Structure 1
Amino acid sequence: MIDLALATILLPVLGAVLIALAPQPAAKSICRFFAGLALLSVLYLAYGFAAGGKVATERAFITLGDVEIVGFAVDTVSVLVAVAVVAIGFLVAIYSGGYFDVGNREHADIGRRRFWAFLLVFIGAMAGLVFTSTLVGQLVFFEITGACSWALIGYYEKPKALASALKALIITHIASIGLYVAASVLFLDTGTFSLSAIAQLPTGAKTVVMLAILVAAWGKSAQLPFHMWLPDAMEAPTPVSAYLHAASMVKVGVYIFARALMSSGGTPEIVGWVGTIMAVVTLVYGFVMYLPQADLKRLLAYSTITQLAYIFLGLSLSVFGSDLAFKGAIAHIFNHAFAKTLFFLIAGSLSYTAGTRMLPVLRGILAKSPVIGIGFTVAALAITGVPPFSGFFSKFAIFAGGFRVADAHPALMILVVVALLESVGSFAWFLKWVGWSVPGKPSETMAAAAPLPASMRLVLIVLIVMAVCSSFVATAWLG
């Protein structure tokens, strides 16, 4: 199992090296091929792990004396999240082959080698972060994902894009200080960097470590007060935005916090209170920022901030004893990955065909392009948690777990109710834009839209299916 995890990490990196050595025309094919190999590797890993009874395994990879520096672990959560990370990376690679074309009405770019190389490194780094079992390993892959996001956000090399890339790099790097603090305290108290050692810490040290990891998680997942880099990251090519916002960069934060909770052997309640309060504050802020947005990508950026806040909410509620909220949060990582990828790639498809993402001029999408119209509707319903779409089931688990622990902690009831009201408001706001943009006679902009390449249509169809089915996969896997 560990060997397959390592293969999933290293195959994309090998592909990136080959792209650097190969001529430009071969870069796209190499990227797709190695992303596909990584997907086959992680799917075989998932199959073998399930067939073997889902027995968790761990192996030290780099040691110094008796100190484990970097290790890797395969368990129920890491395998589920790795499948999402790698599968979406592969789908983005397929989609990008059609998106980067001279026929793209917004950005007529053929896709330079560095895009394909950094996308593969990103996939490998995310797989590494998911499978690593030490805080040092998390730090290494944390910083590699930051470097990849910097390179891809600034891909078009315009002043605003370069400034946005630097902003993302600096803010997430500042937040990473939390991981350095956590690693230092853990090592000084236990003599190891292994995440499993968190359970051995005394209460005070454990509180410091968990809060430090939470701060680092806020930075990567664009939560208040580190949120400001994410909307500006929209300067990236839309396939990059899809991967950043759905399965890679922003999922780093929620994932490292989830793994810390899994390893803590019981977390001090102060961590749960801090996490829950900040999640609800971020939810309310994100909803308010929906209202002035006319650019679909910026609207989706603030939607990402709020959806990640739901995950932090579920993880934080688990501190008070709700296993249901924890499983709901993990399922929401998986569900949101596919639904938000779909929504961003719908935005990219509109840019490709119509030359704009500005919602006020986009009307009659369904009549002009049924796949885009259906995808727009499905993505909106999945993101806002409407049954039978995927977001409903994971959100339901988070809220059900929240109401359950609120019986013993009445103050939590207020926070959970506020989050529930935000969910209703979010549904109303997205429904407004679905009603405006999808049905009816095509506007002048949509009437002049160009056809969508077959590779882009194929990926949208796969993601539409996953926006319905991912919750069943996550539920069956997590039990």
Structure 2
Amino acid sequence: MITLPTTLPAILALAATLVPFLGAALIAALPRDAGKWVCQIFAAAAVLIALCLAWIFEAGGFESAHTSLIGLGSTEILGLTIDRVSVLVASAVIVIGYLVALYSIGYLNQGNREHPDIGRRRFYAFLLIFIGAMAGLVFTSTVIGQLVFFEITGACSWALIGYYESPKALRSAAKALIVTHIASLGLYVAAALIFIDTGTFALTAIAGLPASQKATILLAILIAAWGKSAQLPFHMWLPDAMEAPTPVSAYLHAASMVKVGVYIFARGLLSSGGAPEIVGWVGAVMATLTLVYGFAMYLPQIDMKRLLAYSTITQLSTIFLGLSFSVFGSDLAFKGAIAHIFNHAFAKTLFFLVAGALSYTAGTRLLPQLRGIMAKKPLLGVGFAVAAMAIAGVPPFSGFFSKFAIFAGGFQVGREHWPLMVIAVIALAESVGTFAWFLKWLGTCIPGTPSEAIEQSGPTPRSIQIVLVVLIIMSVASSGIAAWWLG
């Protein structure tokens, strides 16, 4: 049975999901030159819908709502959940999707010194599908819904990572698809177990199960989450995925695909009515191992995008830590993790798009060749510095506030579980190490006399400049937005 939504928030949530898909279908039917403009229109429409939803949700006093869309008898197959977490995260992925689309107008053309291109329409079509799939995954209320959108994001990542069609890009695309698809088996197991135990696919049904069954389902979801968020042992696809165009890298690996993992785990915990501690222990231990590994892999990187890839892995580990700490009773750690999803999305998108602007204008993204950026390209220099400080968690930039909440939550639960205190200290040490490493590259790349690559760099397209300014502002302001929104 199909039920159409009747409340305005539910209608808007469904529209935010479907409008990008409609835009992608239209791009496929129109000439190539129309693709980028159709993408802008439909991505902008999705942003307006998401912001209207946020405004109506706030005006209504932040009251959570659930709407069933597809069911069979008492079995809910697909529905919508509208609450503080879903509205906040959906707004971020949709807004950043539009910013990436706008940036791509300037990036995908023959003036790109690293990758001259004509901006093929399949890029814009798959980008819109990705935006719609992310909105659908964030709003869905069932494991079946998560599975459907999980697999759509995997298909989009395959298409976009392999966009340049070089042998290495095609291999990287296949690796991302295969690894994340293997991890998705965890969601298939979770869906089967929920249905067997409860007769429905609704995530909220987890709350009524015994502790042992809860733990099994949540751990199955966690395995799928590790795959999408490039955590050990599924981490190997993310660095190779940097073969994609930089706008794709920014969206897939800062705001969308990698956020699927942490989001589905957060949604599972939120729906469980209290997760067994074994879930927290497994999550915390694996996050710590990935955190240490990812930081160690920072050190030899000189390719800016590969450095950012390993940085993404560690930042996602920090979010998994916050969610794992929340299992032991820290609401502060949970809110810090959700806020870090929001904050990191804007800051890391900024960092990737600065890397893209440098490769566009200078023809390289190798850090030793990028010296004296501030003298020649002040906007890119400011963007580089702001993104680095926000990722490292330096006040007053956004990453500081969400990381602070996660670490405070870790020390809070560490009073009763001393191994968690050790884990929190390791995470704090990694954050300090991140600051030191980014400070090294700031000192190398930002001041001084421009290197040959920077001195001979070309102009930065206007659309790229506009997007960078917006992201610089959000890398400071997003923490205030998240803190107010989450209460």
Q: TM-score range by the shorter chain?
A: over 0.9
How far apart, in 2, do the equivalents of 1:236 and 1:292 lie? Answer: 21
Give me the whole-angstrom Cα distance separating, in 2, the residues matched to 1:411 and 1:352.
46
Asked if 1:455 is matched to 2:485, the reply is no
How much does 1:411 deviate?
A: 1.4
Partners in 2 of 1:478 and 1:206 — Cα distance? 26
The superposition leaves residues 400-450 of structure 1 with CA deviations (integer Å, 9 ceiling, x where unpaired) of: 000011001111111111111111111100110011001111011100000
Matched, 1:243 2:274: no
Matches within 5 A, 1:98-137: 98-137=106-145
1:250-289 to structure 2, matched below 5 A, reads: 250-289=258-297
Among 9, 17, 24, the alignment partner of 2:25 is 17
- Structure 1 distance, partners of 2:77, 2:18, is 18
1:186, 1:201 within 8 Å by CA — same for their partners in 2?
A: no
The amino acid across from 1:343 in the alignment is F
Task: Please list the CA deviations of residues 96-124 of structure 1 after superposition, one character each: whole Å capped at 9, or x if unmatched.
Answer: 00001111000110210100000000000
Q: Which amino acid aligns with 1:313?
A: L
Distance 1:189 1:233 in 2: 38
1:299 aligned residue: 307
Cα displacement (A) at 1:203? 1.3
The answer on whether the counterparts of 1:72 and 1:132 sit within 8 Å (CA) in structure 2 is yes
In 2, the alpha carbon distance for the partners of 1:415 and 1:408 equals 13
Please show how residues 330-479 of structure 1 align to structure 2 within 5 Å.
330-479=338-487
Q: Quick one: distance in 1 between partners of 2:422 and 2:390?
A: 25
> Structure 2 regions of 5+ residues with no counterpart?
1-8
Contact 1:203–1:268 (Cα < 8 Å) also in 2: yes
Mind listing any 5+ residue stretches in structure 1 that lack a counterpart?
Answer: none
Select the residue among 195, 202, 210 that pairs with 2:210: 202
Identity score, percent: 71
What TM-score do the two structures reach when normalised by structure 2? 0.98
Question: In the aligned structure 1, how far is the partner of 2:446 from the partner of 2:469?
Answer: 17
Please state whether the residue corresponding to 2:76 is helix, strand or coil: strand
- In structure 1, what residue type is equivalent to 2:77? I
CA distance in 1, matches of 2:419, 2:28: 55
Displaced runs of 4 or more, over 2 A: none
Per-residue Cα deviation, 1:44-84 (whole angstroms, up to 9, x for no partner): 00000000011111111111121000111110000000010
Aligned-partner SS, 2:118 = coil
CA distance in structure 1 between the aligned counterparts of 2:422 and 2:57, rounded to whole angstroms: 41
TM (norm. structure 1) is 1.00
Measure the CA separation in 2 of the matches of 1:12 and 1:49.
Answer: 22
Q: Distance in 1 between matches of 2:33 and 2:221?
A: 42
- Counterpart of 1:68 in structure 2 is 76
1:59 corresponds to which residue? 67
SS in 2 for 1:60: strand
Aligned with 1:324 (options 311, 314, 332): 332
Query: What code does the residue aligned with 1:155 have?
Result: Y
The answer to whether the aligner puts 1:146 opposite 2:139 as a matched pair is no
Residue 43 of structure 1 corresponds to which residue in structure 2? 51
Structure 2 counterpart SS, 1:72? strand
Cα distance per residue 1:291-349 (max 9 Å; x no partner): 00000000000000000000000000000000000000000000000000000000000
1:163 aligns with 2:171: yes
Aligned-partner SS, 2:394:
coil
